[in-house]
């Protein structure tokens, strides 16, 4: 009897004023966060006439005039999707560039980064700490710091203005080495020792022991890296400066929105969609990866 | 842990080779440009490039803006994400949906959201409707100093969630008995957050701050989307200065600005870690 009263009291306490304030604030914030995404998708279904007249209301400095806030189209249209996907291949071309770069970078990172992180976390060797400091330093530097000399390096290698100029440097991105390494450092040391007793060397230990337990952080890194590549701007702007047909779509949104207002939202929505799917798929991995690694 | 295994060098070979070629060599190779004059003979000029660049008003403006933008972004993100993580924790199992939405923009390409952003911040747009609704005058968000608002908000919109996740992970490790004791002693929610939670998760709080600051220092994309290569003076960042000098093939100025910037970032980074080490000893 007393037990039940206590539990009821504690239950009520848990839903005190603070609880409702939290729900209220978080709901409002989440609504704000979702708003731009929701409206991009919504406007992507507006027919050409409506969206053009909507966008033409911009840049008005008359205090008495407001832009409309259209919430639904008079006619629900898929025409602009048809246009960018089938009629005018230029958008699709840029979209494919983005896909190519992202896929190539992710594949390269998959080959290089887990191995490097493994070496930096489960081995003792001279100069290891210095290497980690170097990687962290490179991680915090903005892209522009190594930009000019990178161009010289890439030009020497004959890679400037080719897709490789964008792909190769990103493959060795120090941030992901750091991320994976921090996760591997946190793994219990008994894990590998057990493998060693069973006769697994460093390589088999990596493939059969380390990689399987690293699944969450690998998923997290893949998703984050995908988002990075998908939203890449600085690198293609510089490394592909003289090759506009090889630019990824992320760089070209500036131009698209001024040229073809009718397809601009459809193009944006299509560009958001893959990241949305990736996010939904890797959500749990990202959270777990961050929770389990030694970032804290 | 493996000791003295030769195979480690083989495992690291691809990664280290790439880092060497694409990061380390360019980083140190650039020093050469920053101390030569760029003429045919490429004479050694010592620090005169540095003196010239530091006196360049555009460089000074870019540096000031980069600093000011990071001061606007980093502490806001840090404070907001701590608050949000604390709120998420109080919701317990119901927090999942909220947390997932908060993190979502981190993966969204901000390039694709540019158009809706510009529409929202238009003179006749929804943001100004809100401003007028609060009884204030309309603001020209896309010009002058006000331009910082859409830039900073886009940045915060995108980057808040990741800090929230880092904080949430740390909050999960704080022992619940601490709060029970505090409640018995009559400490309210806010007191608990700042007197118990924050000291308990100090290492993470610090890491989030460093990451937020260092990343805010890299703010360029958001400005480039909204303002292009030559944006308004209020948001002209150091990265713009370097990009534009680069476009004019002025490698001397680019590398010189780059090293000035790099030294600043690294010094800040080291300083923050020193502060952390000192604080860590105090609490230990």
Answer yes or no: do A136 and A25 share one domain: no
Residue of B nearest to A176 (CA): B15
Residue A79 resides in a domain: no
For residue B36, the cross-strand partners are B44
Q: Is residue A40 part of a domain?
A: no
> Is A134 part of any domain?
yes
Of A119, A174, A275, the CB nearest to B109: A275
Report angle CA A184, A219, B13 to the nearest 5 degrees: 50
Q: What is the pLDDT of residues B46-85, one digit of tens each?
A: 788 888 888 888 889 989 999 999 999 999 999 999 989 9
What does the mean pLDDT of chain A come to? 83
- Nearby residues of B76 by Cβ (< 8 Å), 6 or more positions away: B152, B156
Q: What is the predicted pLDDT for the residue at A115?
A: 92
Nearest to A231 by CA among B217, B110, B213: B110
Going by pLDDT thresholds of 50, 70 and 90, the confidence category of residue A196 is confident
Residues of B in contact with A59 (CB under 8 A): 122-123
Asked if A108 and A244 sit in the same domain, the reply is yes
Tell me the per-residue pLDDT of A140-157, one tens digit each, with 9 for 90 and over.
Answer: 888 888 888 888 889 888
The answer to whether residue B49 is domain-embedded is: no
State yes or no: pLDDT of B271 exceeds 50: yes
For residue B225, the distance in angstroms to the closest alpha carbon of chain A comes to 7
A50-104 pLDDT, tens digit each: 887 887 777 777 777 777 777 777 778 888 888 888 887 888 888 999 999 999 9
pLDDT mean over A278-292: 86
For residue A27, the model assigns a pLDDT of: 92
Between A157, A172, A253, which is nearest B23 by CB?
A: A172
**Domain match, A28 and A159 both:** no
Identify whether B124 is part of a domain: yes
Q: Which helix (H) or strand (E) holds B3?
A: strand B2-3
Tell me what the mean pLDDT of segment B10-29 comes to.
88
Q: Can you read off the two tokens belonging to residue B164?
A: 């929230």
User: Does residue B183 lie within any of the structural domains?
Assistant: yes
Give the DSSP letter of residue B172. Answer: T
- A258 CB within 8 Å of a chain B CB: no
Q: Cβ separation of B15 and A115 shorter than 8 Å?
A: yes
Residue B175 has pLDDT above 90, yes or no: no
Q: C-alpha distances in angstroms, A265 versus A16, A60, A98, A252, B81?
A: 43, 21, 18, 13, 30
Q: What is the DSSP letter of A146?
A: G
Query: What pLDDT is stored for residue A103 in this prediction?
Result: 95
**Domain range for residue A24?**
2-35
User: Is B15 strand, coil or helix?
Assistant: helix
Residue B106 CA to residue B155 CA, distance in Å, equals 10
CA distances (Å), origin B196, targets A19, A97, A230, B90, B207: 19, 50, 40, 14, 18
pTM confidence score: 0.86
Question: Which of A46-55, A175-184, B174-183 is the most confident on average?
Answer: A175-184
Residue A46 lies in a domain: no
pLDDT at A257: 58
Q: b/e per residue, B113-124, with b = 16+ CB within 10 A?
A: bbbbbbbbbbbb
In a domain, B24, yes or no: no
Q: In this predicted model, what pLDDT tens digit does every residue of A28-57 receive, in sequence order?
A: 999 999 999 998 898 888 888 888 788 777
Residues A10 and A120 in one domain: no
Cβ neighbours of A267 in B, within 8 Å = 112
What pLDDT, on the 0 to 100 scale, is given for residue B283? 45
Specify the pLDDT at position B160: 92
A144 shares a domain with A250? yes
- Percentage of chain B surpassing pLDDT 90? 11
Average pLDDT value for residue range B42-47: 77
What rounded mean pLDDT belongs to chain B? 83
Residues A23 and A118 in one domain: no
Tracing tokens 């189209």 back to the chain, one arrives at A73
> Which chain B residues have a beta carbon less than 8 Å from that of A272?
108-109, 112-113
A138 and A269 co-located in one domain: yes
A22 and A114 fall within a common domain: no
Q: What is the CATH classification number for the domain harbouring A154?
A: 1.10.3720.10
- Rounded to the nearest 10°, the torsion over CA B147, B149, B151, B155 is 170
Least confident piece of the model among A21-25, A95-99, A203-207, B104-108: A203-207
Confidence label for B284 from pLDDT (cuts 50, 70 and 90): very low
- Using CA atoms, how far residue A230 sits from A106, A184, B107, in Å, is 11, 26, 9
Give me the helix-helix angle, B148-171 and B95-107, nearest 10°.
130
| Top-confidence residue, B284 or B27 | B27
Position B118 in a domain: yes
For residue B89, is it within any domain? yes
Instruction: Considering only the beta carbons, identify the residue of B21, B101, B242 that sits closest to A30.
Output: B101
| Domain, as residue range, for B88 | 58-283
CA A51 to CA A77: how far, in whole Å?
11
Q: How far apart are CA B176 and CA A129, in angstroms?
A: 36
Is A287 a member of any domain?
yes
Residues of B in contact with A239 (CB under 8 A): none
CA nearest A245: which of A104, A100, A105, A94?
A: A94
CATH code of residue B165 = 1.10.3720.10
B117-161 per-position pLDDT tens digit: 888 888 888 888 888 888 888 888 888 888 888 999 999 999 999
Contact B58, B231 (CB under 8 A): no
Report pLDDT digits (tens) over B208-262.
888 888 888 888 888 888 887 788 888 888 888 888 888 888 888 888 888 888 8
Q: What is the pLDDT of residue A259?
A: 61
In this structure, what is the dihedral angle of CA atoms A2, A6, A8, A13, given to the nearest 10 degrees? 160
**How many domains are there within chain A?**
2
List beta partners, residue A123: B2
B39 falls within a domain: no
Residues A287, A205 share a domain:
yes
Q: Strand A123-124 relative to strand B2-3: parallel, antiparallel, unpaired? A: parallel
Number of domains in chain B: 1
Q: Are residues A139 and A230 in the same domain?
A: yes
A33 touches chain B (CB under 8 A): yes
Entry field: residues in chain A: 296
B160: in domain: yes
For residue A123, the surrounding DSSP H or E stretch is strand A123-124
With a cut of 60, say whether residue B280 has pLDDT above it: no
Same-domain status, A103 and A229: yes
Q: Is A189 on the interface with B (CB under 8 A)?
A: yes
Phi/psi of residue B56, nearest 5 degrees:
-65, 120
Same domain, A189 and A261: yes
């Amino acid at each position: 009897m007393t037990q039940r009263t206590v539990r009821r009291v504690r239950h009520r306490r848990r839903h005190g004023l603070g609880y409702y304030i939290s729900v209220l604030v978080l709901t409002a914030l989440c609504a704000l966060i979702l708003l731009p995404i929701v409206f991009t998708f919504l406007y992507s279904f507006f027919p050409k006439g409506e969206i053009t007249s909507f966008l033409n209301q911009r840049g008005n400095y008359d205090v008495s005039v407001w832009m409309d806030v259209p919430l639904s189209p008079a006619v629900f249209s898929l025409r602009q999707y048809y246009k960018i996907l089938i009629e005018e291949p230029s958008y699709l071309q840029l979209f494919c560039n983005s896909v190519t770069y992202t896929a190539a970078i992710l594949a390269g990172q998959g080959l290089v980064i887990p191995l490097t992180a493994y070496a930096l976390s489960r081995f003792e060797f001279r100069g290891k700490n210095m290497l980690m400091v170097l990687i962290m330093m490179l991680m915090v530097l903005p892209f522009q710091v190594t930009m000019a000399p990178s161009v010289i390096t890439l030009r020497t290698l004959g890679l400037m203005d080719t897709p490789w100029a964008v792909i190769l440097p990103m493959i060795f991105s120090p941030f992901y080495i750091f991320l994976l390494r921090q996760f591997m450092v946190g793994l219990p040391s008994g894990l590998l020792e057990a493998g060693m007793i069973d006769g697994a060397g460093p390589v088999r230990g990596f493939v059969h022991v380390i990689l399987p337990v690293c699944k969450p952080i690998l998923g997290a890194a893949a998703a984050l890296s995908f988002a990075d590549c998908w939203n890449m701007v600085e690198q293609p702007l510089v490394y592909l400066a003289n090759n506009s047909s090889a630019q990824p779509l992320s760089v070209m949104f500036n131009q698209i929105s001024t040229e073809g207002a009718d397809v601009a939202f459809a193009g944006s929505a299509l560009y958001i969609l893959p990241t949305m799917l990736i996010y939904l798929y890797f959500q749990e991995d990202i959270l777990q990866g961050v929770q389990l690694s030694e970032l804290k | 842990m493996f000791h003295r295994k030769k195979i480690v060098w083989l495992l690291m070979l691809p990664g280290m080779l790439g880092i060497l070629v694409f990061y380390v060599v360019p980083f140190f190779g650039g020093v050469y440009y920053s101390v030569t004059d760029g003429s045919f003979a490429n004479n050694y000029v010592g620090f005169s490039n540095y003196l010239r660049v530091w006196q360049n008003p555009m460089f000074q403006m870019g540096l000031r803006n980069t600093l000011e933008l990071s001061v606007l972004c980093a502490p806001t993100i840090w404070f907001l994400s701590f608050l949000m993580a604390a709120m998420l924790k109080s919701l317990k199992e119901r927090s999942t949906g909220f947390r997932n939405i908060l993190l979502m923009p981190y993966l969204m390409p901000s390039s694709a959201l540019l158009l809706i952003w510009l529409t929202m911040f238009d003179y006749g747009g929804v943001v100004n409707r809100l401003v007028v609704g609060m009884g204030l005058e309309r603001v020209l968000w896309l010009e002058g100093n006000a331009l910082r608002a859409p830039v900073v908000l886009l940045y915060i919109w995108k980057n808040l969630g990741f800090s929230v996740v880092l904080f949430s992970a740390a909050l999960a490790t704080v022992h619940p008995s601490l709060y029970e004791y505090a409640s018995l002693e009559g400490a309210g929610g806010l007191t608990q957050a700042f007197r118990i939670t924050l000291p308990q998760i100090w290492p993470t709080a610090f890491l989030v701050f460093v990451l937020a600051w260092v990343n805010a220092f890299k703010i360029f994309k958001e400005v480039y989307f909204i303002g292009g290569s030559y944006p308004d003076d209020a948001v002209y960042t150091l990265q713009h200065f370097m990009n534009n000098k680069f476009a004019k093939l002025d490698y001397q100025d680019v590398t010189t600005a780059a090293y000035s910037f790099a030294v600043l970032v690294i010094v800040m980074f080291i300083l923050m870690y020193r502060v952390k080490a000192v604080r860590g000893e105090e609490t230990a």
